[in-house]
Amino acid sequence: MIHVRLTNSMTKQKQPIESLDDKKIALYVCGITPYDAPHLGHGRCYVTFDLLYRLLIFLGYNVTYCRNFTDIDDKLLNKSEKEFGTPFKFEVIAQRYIDIFEQDMRLLNCKKPTYEPRVTETIPEIIAFVQSLVDAGNAYAIEGDVYFSIDSFPAYGKLSHRKLDGLCAGARVAISDKKRNPLDFALWKSEPEGHYYKSPWGYGRPGWHIECSAMAKKFLGSTIDIHGGGMDLIFPHHENELAQSQALQAEPFVRLWAHNAFVQIEKEKMSKSLGNFFSLDDIFRQFYPQAVRFYFLQHQYRNPLDFSLHDLASAQQSYKKLVKQFTGVNSLRCHPEPVSGSIIAEMLDFLKDDLNTPGMFGVLYKHLDTIVADSVLAGQVKYLLQEILGLTLEPLLEKELEITPEIEALLAERQKARAEKNWALSDELRDKLNQLGYEVQDKKL
Ligand SMILES: [Zn+2]
C-alpha cells in the first residue's frame, strides 16, 4: 500500500507517515486561544487536520488526536479586564469563545479530537515539566519567573531554519535584563501573592509554549507522530515547544511537523487592524458552512489561499451542483486498498500525496459523467467525499441569509426591471445575486 506522505517542515521534504506501533498514530494540533471568534484562518487549519485525521482513520490507522485550548493568556486577561473590570473573569471569556469554536467546528463537519485539554486543567503537569527543565539545567528561575535557556539546547532554530545570530539581532529590542540570553523565553510568569497558581517559584501562571509540551506528553506520550498547526506557529511557538520537550529526552519529540499556509485577503495577511478580517460566523451568515469547507478543500493546504467572497460564491455554486449530482445515490463503503488504476485509487493517491485535494477534485470532475452513470462507483465516490473529505453532500436547506444593503439595492433594481418587463436586465441581476451566494426565487407578478 502507498503510504500517506506529508511535507515535514523540519526537512522540507515529503515524508511517509509510518506507525511505529501497530498502526497507532499520535496527532497533536495546536488549538485556539479563546479570546475572540474563530476566523477563516482557523477554519482552514482545522479543516486541513480534520481531513488528515479522516484519511488516516479510513486507511485503518488508530489515531489519537489531541487539540488544546489556551484558556489562560494575556489576551484573555486583557479582554476580561476590559469587559468586567477584572482579569479574574477570564474563564467566562474562554468558555464563551470555546462554545462558538465548537459550534463552528460542528458546522464545518470537523470530527471531535480524542482529547481537547485546557491549560487551566493541566497546571500540575505544566509545573512538573518546568521543574524537570530546571533540574536538568535547561531552565533557570529568577525573581519568580522561569526562563528556558536556549544556550542549553544547541539545536535551537533547526525547525524554523533560523540562525541564532540573526535571531538575536531581531530580539534586541525586547531584551529583558533578567534574561541570560534575549531569546530565552518564559516558562512561568510570576504574579502577585495569591494570584493564579501556586508553584515552587511563587504564584504565577504558565508561559504559552510550555502548555503544548506538557499536554502533548500527558495525552500522547513522549513521541508525537505528527504535530500540526498553522505556518505562523513555526516560530517561535513550535521551535520553543521542540526545545523544551527534546531537551529532556533522547527519543524524537516529533517525527513529522506539518503546517498549513495562511488565508490571505488580496495578498495580505488577514487582520483586524487592516479591516480585512472575516470571522467564521460572519461568513456563515452569507454562505453554507459545507460550501466553505468545500472551498478550503479546493486548495492544497500548503499553498496560501487568496480569499475572495466572489471565489467563495463560485465554490458554493459548484458545491450545490455536486450535491445535486449525488442526490439519490446510495453511499457505498469503498475499500482502503482499491484496484490500482481505478478512479477511486486515483482519487486516493492524490489525497495520500500531501493531501493534494485539487488533484483529487481534478480526477472527480474529469470522470464525473462516468462516475454518476455507474451506481456502484457513484456510491463509492460519495462515500469517499463524505467520509474522507467530510462533505456531507446533504441538500442545502434554504436558510435566511443576511441581506446587506448592497444585496437590498440589487434586489430593488431587479424588482424594478421585472416590473418594466426588462427580462435581460432582470436575468443579469439574478446571476449577479447568485454569484454573491444568494438564490432568488420569483413569485408570479
Ligand atoms: Zn501549541
Using pLDDT thresholds of 50, 70 and 90, give the confidence band for residue 268.
confident
3-state class (DSSP) for residue 305: strand
- Average the pLDDT over 264-293 and give the result: 88
- Tell me, in angstroms, the distance from the centre of ligand 1 to residue 224's CA: 13
Question: Which distant-in-sequence residues (6+ apart) come within 8 Å of 386 by Cβ?
Answer: 331, 392, 393
- Tell me, in angstroms, the distance from the centre of ligand 1 to residue 143's CA: 26
* pLDDT exceeds 50 at position 359: yes
- Tell me, in angstroms, the distance from the centre of ligand 1 to residue 235's CA: 11
Sort strands 305-307 and 263-265 into parallel, antiparallel or unpaired. parallel
Nearest CA to 202 out of 220, 215, 219, 190 is that of 190
3-state class (DSSP) for residue 3: coil
pTM of the model: 0.89
* Backbone phi, psi, residue 398, to 5°: -65, 125
- Tell me, in angstroms, the distance from the centre of ligand 1 to residue 184's CA: 17
Using pLDDT thresholds of 50, 70 and 90, give the confidence band for residue 267.
confident
* Backbone phi, psi, residue 399, to 5°: -125, 165
- Tell me, in angstroms, the distance from the centre of ligand 1 to residue 69's CA: 9
- Tell me, in angstroms, the distance from the centre of ligand 1 to residue 79's CA: 21
- Tell me, in angstroms, the distance from the centre of ligand 1 to residue 409's CA: 46
- By CB atoms closer than 10 A (0-12, 13-18, 19+), residue 135 is exposed
pLDDT digits (tens, 9 = 90+) for 365-416: 999 999 999 999 999 999 999 999 999 999 987 665 667 778 888 888 998 8
- Tell me, in angstroms, the distance from the centre of ligand 1 to residue 240's CA: 10
- Tell me, in angstroms, the distance from the centre of ligand 1 to residue 234's CA: 10
- Tell me, in angstroms, the distance from the centre of ligand 1 to residue 199's CA: 22
3-state class (DSSP) for residue 278: coil
- Tell me, in angstroms, the distance from the centre of ligand 1 to residue 215's CA: 9
pLDDT of residue 440: 76
- Tell me, in angstroms, the distance from the centre of ligand 1 to residue 74's CA: 16
- Tell me, in angstroms, the distance from the centre of ligand 1 to residue 229's CA: 8
What is the chain's length? 445
- Tell me, in angstroms, the distance from the centre of ligand 1 to residue 31's CA: 7
pLDDT of residue 169: 45
pLDDT of residue 444: 57
- Tell me, in angstroms, the distance from the centre of ligand 1 to residue 410's CA: 45
* pLDDT exceeds 60 at position 174: no
Sort strands 24-29 and 224-230 into parallel, antiparallel or unpaired. parallel
Residue with cell 539581532: 169
- Tell me, in angstroms, the distance from the centre of ligand 1 to residue 188's CA: 16
pLDDT digits (tens, 9 = 90+) for 8-44: 999 999 999 989 888 999 999 999 999 999 999 999 9
pLDDT of residue 312: 96
- Tell me, in angstroms, the distance from the centre of ligand 1 to residue 231's CA: 12
- Tell me, in angstroms, the distance from the centre of ligand 1 to residue 139's CA: 19
CB 313 within 8 A of CB 435: yes
- Average the pLDDT over 173-193 and give the result: 85
CB 180 within 8 A of CB 140: yes
pLDDT digits (tens, 9 = 90+) for 51-82: 999 999 999 999 999 999 999 999 999 999 99
- Tell me, in angstroms, the distance from the centre of ligand 1 to residue 72's CA: 13
- Tell me, in angstroms, the distance from the centre of ligand 1 to residue 211's CA: 7
- 74-90 burial, b for 16+ CB within 10 Å, e for fewer? eebbebbeeeeeebebb
Question: Which distant-in-sequence residues (6+ apart) come within 8 Å of 68 by Cβ?
Answer: 30, 31, 116, 117, 118, 119, 211, 212, 215
